[in-house]
Chains A and B, each alone.
Chain A
């Protein structure tokens, strides 16, 4: 990783031969597809094909979402305000003997001054924001905000624009997510409708890393975090 910058930032100087190769491959593939159309261009796109609406939600969105989280083995806490959030999170980090916590310090995290709140309560734990020098693979806790919560599938939407930020929710063994109750929507369609593609990287997170590759037996915690906890700030948290 140390020499990653050099490798990655170096301008890709592809040889002329490769440029020619991809150009001729492109033309060949296009030609074969065109031939298959037998001279006829395909139908213009019909936009009217069936898109079933998602089923109605029997429970309230929040109840349903929490039920899903339990099924997906995601821990959750409903918290009333910033103080309670910092207190609860600090207690958990302390209880699990955390040594180093890395924060993706954006949005709601700044609003509730979580970095300061944790540092104040955890004097012998290193608590850093991304970019301050703590590498994600050294941290045992990664703490991130999120972009949305989806009730139907019990999904947390994460977003990131660079590798260091992506790594906060991936490399540490425990991942804490901070969300606002208002971020909860019924389904992915609703979320997508309110969050038009803005070229960012999104991750739909529905549980801790797992595998069932051996005898189909589910094993939690492989490459990604083996513990995910969600802290939901209840509506009206700004006043508390």
Chain B
């Protein structure tokens, strides 16, 4: 099977380990991965800030780059939701609308792709300790990522998964929101972080880059040394730098 990957700008620049884990994981499952280096950003920041005409430009670029036949897989639910849902609210020309309709059906969030056709099937990864889940909002609500995420995490042997009811509550990142109203953003995030740390986890597992940067930032701003890594679920399966374990 072949798949093209979409590695959003935040991951490319700040969290490349998520991209690397995504590639390793897909390859371990026998997928031939291709990556188009022309890709940059899907246009979400501009659109979320209320400037759709700036977003249109990047959206058209995205649609032209990902106009192939292979499925497109991305480790970011937020960017997938932008393309799938929000592009529909943009003023796109006819030929790009056609491309959008094609890409919309062909674009998958990583966990969604993995459980589709049971691609992940017999995979077994191994880690030790306790992982607290935080459902990233767009992954959870726009790409319906809860069940896929749990199914993927089931493949990690030796780990205790903790999913508390407030795991579905927003961490307060919100893209441009985090810079426009930083005090509020941090207050929401701090409360989430406190709730998660109360479980004394070895890993804090998320599904989107923005929330990871936000919670990592808040965690590293705290005093103390023993801090669990805030990671993407793909890393729990396939990041060799995370210590022993991962996909065999």
Judge A-B direct contact (beta carbons within 8 Å): no
Q: Which residues of A contact B (CB under 8 A)?
A: none
Chain B contact residues, CB within 8 Å of chain A:
none
